[in-house]
Chains A and B, each alone.
Chain A
Amino acid sequence: MKKLLGGAILLLFYSACNSSGNKQTLPIYGERNPVTKTINGQTVTDTVYHTIPPFKFINQYGDSITNKSLQNDIYVADFFFTSCPSICPVMHRNMLNVYNQFKGDNDVKIVSYSIDPKHDSVNVLKDYATKLGVTGNSWYFLQGKKEDTYKLSESYLVTKPQEDAKQMFIHDGYFILVDKQQRIRGTYNGTDPKEVDQLIADIKTLKAEPNQQNAK
């Protein structure tokens, strides 16, 4: 009898957690500003969220990629460079899991910005992508003006990359989840496989939100 009661209680907890899990939405990060407008003589207050500003870069195929190209995509962004001796191999070993999980999904992309455009030419990026095992258009490796990339990094709320005396780049290893409205919905330590698993789960949660459903 006791056992039965225990089981029932467990089940209750389980289903309680489960149902709240289903309705879960992801938070929206960054600064938010209330904007008051007058529509039809009525004052309404709207919240304007932090979004990724316009940008224009070149991908590994030599194509120009802008914020417009990504406006109907959920995407994961990170910052790296191909000759990175430290955390980048770990980040991209983990990012491959995200890639393999969503490469057949037209709504989800990955965008890796090189912070070393001088070395990471289009050809170098293409070679890197090929060797990593990435084909098609679901994972872009982008390069542009270094100043633009560094400036853009701030809008992703990551630490702005720095160069030390040896001209090595110091940067953090965060993966940033961006929704179709260009808002930041999650940040994950890309060197930690557990956090990357959470990212994969969160992408699925995000995809289920009503305002991420708009057709292409």
Chain B
Amino acid sequence: MKLTAIGIISLLVIALVACQSEDQLEFNRYYTSGKVLYQSKCQNCHGDNGEGLSALIPPLTDAGYLKTNKKQLACIVKYGLNAPITINKKAYYNKMPLTDMAPVEIAEVLTYVNNSFGNKMGVITTNMVEEDLKGCK
């Protein structure tokens, strides 16, 4: 009886691992590198949990904002931001400095941000970032 249970469980585990598709692997790769980048390039301002800092620095927890501005996010990370915005129904108007990150790094850090702090928006690939960067104002 015990043996059958163990057998079934190990089968399930094997199935799960096998099911980790190419997509999942790609996501994990972006996400893991993105986490390290977030810690070194964004966390000082946006906080350990994306909570921001009072009314000075906005949180990264407004899924609505992130979705609506999905195509702008790469531009924000690359060129910074200095415009009035509304995040979680609160007004912010400050200056985020530009970064010197490569498209692949931007893709990684955005995959991390967009799938942490309660956000769940899937992978952002280097190709998507390169495409979005063409549209920066």
Which residue from A85, A86, A89 sits with its C-beta under 8 Å from B53?
Answer: A89
Query: CB-CB < 8 A to A96: which residues of B?
Result: 54
- Shortest C-beta distance, A98 to chain B (Å), equals 14
- Shortest C-beta distance, A136 to chain B (Å), equals 15
A97, CB-defined interface residue at 8 Å: no
Q: How many residues of B contact A (CB 8 A)?
A: 11
CB-based contact A131/B95 at 8 Å: no
B81, CB-defined interface residue at 8 Å: no
CB-based contact A93/B47 at 8 Å: yes
CB-based contact B94/A89 at 8 Å: no
Looking at chain B's contact residues, the main secondary structure is loop
CB-based contact A131/B56 at 8 Å: yes
Which residue from B44, B56, B95, B97 sits with its C-beta under 8 Å from A132?
Answer: B56
A157, CB-defined interface residue at 8 Å: no
B133, CB-defined interface residue at 8 Å: no
Which residue from A85, A90, A93, A131 sits with its C-beta under 8 Å from B55?
Answer: A131
A159, CB-defined interface residue at 8 Å: no
Of residues 77 through 103 on chain A, the ones whose CB sits less than 8 Å from some CB of chain B are 83, 85-87, 89-90, 92-93, 96
B37, CB-defined interface residue at 8 Å: no
Query: CB-CB < 8 A to B63: which residues of A?
Result: none
- In the complex formed, the residue of A with least CB distance to B46 is A89
Query: CB-CB < 8 A to A90: which residues of B?
Result: 44
- In the complex formed, the residue of A with least CB distance to B56 is A131
Query: CB-CB < 8 A to B97: which residues of A?
Result: 85
CB-based contact B44/A89 at 8 Å: yes
- In the complex formed, the residue of B with least CB distance to A82 is B56
Query: CB-CB < 8 A to B54: which residues of A?
Result: 96, 131-133
B87, CB-defined interface residue at 8 Å: no
Having A85-B45, A85-B97, one finds 16 other A-B pairs with CB under 8 Å, namely A83-B95, A86-B44, A87-B44, A89-B44, A89-B45, A89-B53, A89-B56, A89-B57, A92-B53, A93-B47, A96-B54, A128-B56, A130-B55, A132-B55, A132-B56, A133-B55
B-side residues, CB < 8 A to A, are 44-45, 47, 53-57, 94-95, 97
Q: List 12 A-B contacts (CB under 8 A).
A: A83-B95, A85-B45, A87-B44, A89-B44, A89-B45, A89-B53, A89-B57, A130-B55, A131-B55, A131-B56, A131-B94, A132-B56
- Which 7 A-B residue pairs are closest in the complex by CB-CB distance? A131-B55, A133-B54, A131-B56, A85-B97, A89-B45, A90-B44, A132-B54
